[in-house]
């Protein structure tokens, strides 16, 4: 076998020679391009100065908003601008929703209407509620009075909603009136009509002379229960007895005509929740007590002074709300107002809590203690 020569060892095919030529050409091009590569500048560091300034401005703006939110200011939700609503701590979308509601003829007639805005958190409503101020709209009242008809004698237990509206009763009060009857409520005397929450004092005074409640059959005459140490207990009437409504015990109440163990318990329990009776008429509001029975026992009742027990500057929400004349939302408003403005110093300070009407304040006055 013939051994290969050096020529055979260094022999390249045509394709191999073409590859070597191309490689040599690329190397030559890189050598020639070197002077231009030196002039190319590639940034090695990014400048974050502008970004850092933007972050700082955002944090300062956030702190400013937190300061504004922590210090609410009085505002009218019917006229406040979008910017003012945002300053009060409401987010942009919620502020716009309020503006849209007003642009569609929506209106807030009283502070509690503000909580009906969709998306408003309960904590935001409770925080802002003491600062909501809604002036009375004389123009609206004038427009409504122009549609009124002269009131006429009517029975509050069967009058229609349409007739109430025609006599100038507000739609809300008229609906509450009908709802009360639909749930089995019945007006036994005309003064009970004034207890409708949305019925204003002026509306009641206008229709009061026309209220007519037909007399009902008196229930079978009952005699008072008098405990006896001799034999079984019996019922007997003691017409000459007089009792103090704020100190009488259950057995003393049972000496009155028509008052048995059940009514005696109901009356004393109601008295305990109130903190005493400030007026004799409050006894008539005892759950289940017929007005006919109250009218019979009224001449035998004596009224002593009520000792104020609602220390409004110290009590928490739960304790205040336990009183029959204070609703939970009103108790929250009182406590929130006290936290923001300090202790109530006088009666005028309490008037600034907008969730309490003048009628409700007068009803609460005998029970309030502003000194402690």
Distance CA 140, CA 52 (A): 54
CATH topology of domain 225-302: DNA polymerase; domain 1 (1.10.150)
Whether this prediction's pTM lies above 0.75 is answered by: no
Closest CA to 353 of 111, 99, 73: 111
pLDDT value at position 45? Answer: 64
CATH second-level architecture of 52-131? Answer: Orthogonal Bundle (1.10)
What does the domain layout of the chain look like in residue ranges? 52-131, 138-210, 225-302, 310-369
CATH 1.10.150.280 given to domain 310-369:
yes
According to the model, what pLDDT value does residue 44 have?
58
pLDDT attached to residue 267: 93
Question: Distance between CA 364 and CA 372 in Å, rounded?
Answer: 17
Give the model's pLDDT for residue 231: 36
Residue 139 is predicted with a pLDDT of 44
The CATH code of the domain at 138-210 is: 1.10.150
Q: Give pLDDT tens digits for 247-277.
A: 999 999 999 988 989 999 999 998 988 889 9
Instruction: Give CA–CA dist 108/133, Å, rounded.
Output: 10
Q: What's residue 146's pLDDT?
A: 44
* pLDDT score, position 120: 87
**Residue 324 CB neighbour total at 10 angstroms:** 13
Collect all residues with Cβ–Cβ distance below 8 Å to 311 and sequence separation of at least 6. 369, 372
Q: Are 125 and 66 in contact (CB under 8 A)?
A: no
Tokens linked to 14: 């045509």
For the chain, list residues with pLDDT below 70.
Answer: 1-12, 37-46, 60-70, 137-148, 216-240, 372
Rounded to the nearest 5°, which phi and psi values hold at 369? -120, 110
- Terminal alpha carbon distance of the chain: 127
pLDDT of residue 269: 92
């Amino acid at each position: 076998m013939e051994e290969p020569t050096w020529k055979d060892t260094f022999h390249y095919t045509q394709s191999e020679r073409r590859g070597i030529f191309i490689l040599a050409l690329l190397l030559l091009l890189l050598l020639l391009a070197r002077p231009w590569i030196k002039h190319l500048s590639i940034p090695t560091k990014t400048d974050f100065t502008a970004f850092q300034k933007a972050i700082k401005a955002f944090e300062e703006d956030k702190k400013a908003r937190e300061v504004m939110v922590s210090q609410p200011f009085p505002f009218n939700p019917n006229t406040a601008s979008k910017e003012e609503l945002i300053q009060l701590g409401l987010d942009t979308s919620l502020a716009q929703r309020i503006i849209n509601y007003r642009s569609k003829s929506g209106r807030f007639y009283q502070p509690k209407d503000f909580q009906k805005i969709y998306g408003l958190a309960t904590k935001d409503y409770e925080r802002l509620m003491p600062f909501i101020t809604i002036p009375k709209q004389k123009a609206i009242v004038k427009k409504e009075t122009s549609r009124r008809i002269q009131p006429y004698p009517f029975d509050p237990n069967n009058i229609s909603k349409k007739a109430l509206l025609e006599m100038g009763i507000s739609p809300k009060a008229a609906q509450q009136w009908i709802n009360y009857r639909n749930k089995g409520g019945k007006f036994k005397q005309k003064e009970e009509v004034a207890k409708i929450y949305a019925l204003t004092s002026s509306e009641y005074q206008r229709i009061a002379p026309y209220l007519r409640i037909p007399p009902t059959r008196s229930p079978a005459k009952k005699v008072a229960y008098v405990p006896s140490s001799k034999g079984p207990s019996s019922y007997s009437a003691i017409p000459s007895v007089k009792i103090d409504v704020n100190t009488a015990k259950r057995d003393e109440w049972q000496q009155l005509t028509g008052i048995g163990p059940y009514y005696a318990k109901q009356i004393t329990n109601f008295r305990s929740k109130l903190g005493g009776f400030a007026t004799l008429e409050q006894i008539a509001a005892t759950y289940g007590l017929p007005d006919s029975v109250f009218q019979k026992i009224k001449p035998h009742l004596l009224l002593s002074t009520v000792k104020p027990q609602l220390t409004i500057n110290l009590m928490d929400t739960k304790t205040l709300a336990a009183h029959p004349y204070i609703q939970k939302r009103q108790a929250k408003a009182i406590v929130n107002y006290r936290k923001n403005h300090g202790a109530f110093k006088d009666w005028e300070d309490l008037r600034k809590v907008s969730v309490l009407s003048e009628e409700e304040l007068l009803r609460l006055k005998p029970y309030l203690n502003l000194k402690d």
